[in-house]
A and B are shown apart, each in its own frame.
Chain A
Amino acid sequence: MTGTTRGTRLGDRLLHAWTWLVIVWLSSPIAVMILFGFNDKKSKSNTAWQGFTLRWYGELFDISDLTTALTNSLVVAVVSTVVTVVIGTMLGLALGRHRFRGKGATTFLVFAAISTPELVMGASLLSLFVSGNVPRGTVTIVVAHVLFSLSFVVVTVRARVVGLDPSLEEAARDLGATAWGTFRQVTLPSILPGVMAGAMLSFALSIDDYVVTSFVNGSTVTFPLWIVGAVKTGIPPQVNVMGTLIFGIGVLIAVGNAIAARRRT
């Protein structure tokens, strides 16, 4: 039996090492992004290390087009997240709690929206806007972002609603609470983690999106679109700095959330 045990241990060690190797592979571009935000580059291209500087952090907003693009991205992300969360939570409640005509068809639509490739979604939206002579810009970007985030909010909220004990709401109503009062004081607090998870997901999906946005943006430029446009002429270090800051804030929020969740239990 010792032979097997030794073999087992070696296998486990190899798998452990493999896991770390994959983690390093996945993280290496992040390390490069952070590092080159500190690169004291003199030439036009930012691919060779030329020394440490904090200059780009000081000149973060010196490229006005880039700053506008980042602002556009943030505005689109906030507005589309708010819209998505409101209508997605409503649909999630309807699907998780109620029976109604067309429920099956609606569920199908929700999953069709998740499984449609981004490229096809963008292309079909552009077909609609072109056919209907709809001018493209910030509004059409928000419309598109709500569309691809909606299903994720519906799914996370519905999962939470299904796990909710309906007798709590009945009790509230029996005690004289109005429908709205019941929702605000009983239903909403218990589905809130699902709503928050859906909100964070839609924000992340929105701020990251390139493919769908590239079809419906008109002349409005978002952060990912600006970056792709700048590839040929060279990515300025400010992009790395912005990426680093977004990464840092995202990680902080995620870690903070995890710690808060652990404390609650």
Chain B
Amino acid sequence: MRRLTPYLLALPGWMWLAIFLVVPMAAMASVSLQTGNAIDGYAMTFAVSNYTDALGRYSTQLVRSLLYGGLATVAMLLIGYPVAYWIAFKGGRRKSVYLFLLLLPFFVSFVLRTISWNFLLADNGILLGTLKGWGVLPADFHVLATTVAVVGGLAYNFLPFMILPIYVSLERVDPRVVEAAQDLYATRAAAFRQVVLPLSLPGVFAGVLMTFVPATADPINAAILGGTANTMIGNIIQTAYLTNLDYPTASALSFTLMAVLLVGIFLYARLLGTENVLEAAAR
């Protein structure tokens, strides 16, 4: 009985993951190779052409998603790193208060937050309408339905996921190490570049992963803030699945998206040197 305990404990959770995570992936793989139509049903024909067709038709949106996800990630890194740095080294006893304030958006639904930006940035809404009333902006100025709105929305929605891991890695840096560097006549900039920055790389690595993947695959920001000219791959997949009932195309696109993200993560890990990152993280 005692030897069975771990298996009994693990069984329900393990089965849930196997049946609803692994089996669906297999189902999706199978659907992505079928042909047919929504009315007569789909049959397996090992149609690899589904992939080439889908890519041919939607490469613009796929490239755009990677571009928007990448731009948003860079923006989050530039915006978030200084914040994480200041809280970790200068936050003092109020560290947890600052972190709590940064996490406030999580108490509002993702969808509602994005719609609030739609409110804020509406062509004649409280922000642009007021500025136009003062004559600061021309009457036809708009932010909604532009690249800036979508990338800004993505950066807004995922920023805490960039700040937190960087903060955690910076918090672990012993301030005495930085002092030692400065005692050895390193300038402040040099101490940062050669001591603090390398020690925070595991956090940067985790932050980039935690933001780039969901930002690239996100359909909500493009749908609510982007208009028709900024459609991302997430919107295409959603429409193909739910409106057009074109399951094979949608499945092929989902797999392509996942493959592209996995290859991206792999290359990125190689580029940054996972070993160095893991080593630094272990310390």
Contacts and interface: CB of A to CB of B under 8 A. Distances in A.
A211 B221 CA distance: 11
B104 A27 contact: yes
Interface stretch (B25-33, B193-201, B272-280): B25-33
A95 B10 contact: yes
Contacts of B5: 98, 179
B82 A48 contact: no
Interface string A41-66: 00000111100000000000000000
A23 B86 CA distance: 13
B105 interface: yes
Contacts of A227: 109, 111-112, 115
Contacts of A168: none
Interface string B236-260: 0110011000010011001001100
Contacts of A86: 12
Given A18-B82, A123-B250, A26 B159 contact: yes
Interface residues of A, number: 86
A71 interface: no
Contacts of A109: 14, 17-18, 21-22
B58 interface: no
Interface stretch (B45-53, B122-130, B135-143): B122-130
Contact of B258 (A120, A223, A247): A120
B87 A26 contact: no
A141 B215 CA distance: 23
Contacts of B108: 29-30, 33, 243, 246-247
B126 A48 contact: yes
Contacts of B219: 119, 211
B6 interface: yes
A144 interface: yes
Interface in B67-98: 79-80, 82-83, 85-87, 90, 96, 98
Given A215-B242, A243-B108, 19 more contacts: A30-B104, A47-B124, A90-B13, A94-B7, A98-B5, A100-B10, A102-B10, A113-B17, A115-B213, A118-B217, A119-B234, A119-B254, A124-B25, A124-B254, A128-B28, A132-B27, A210-B110, A231-B118, A250-B107
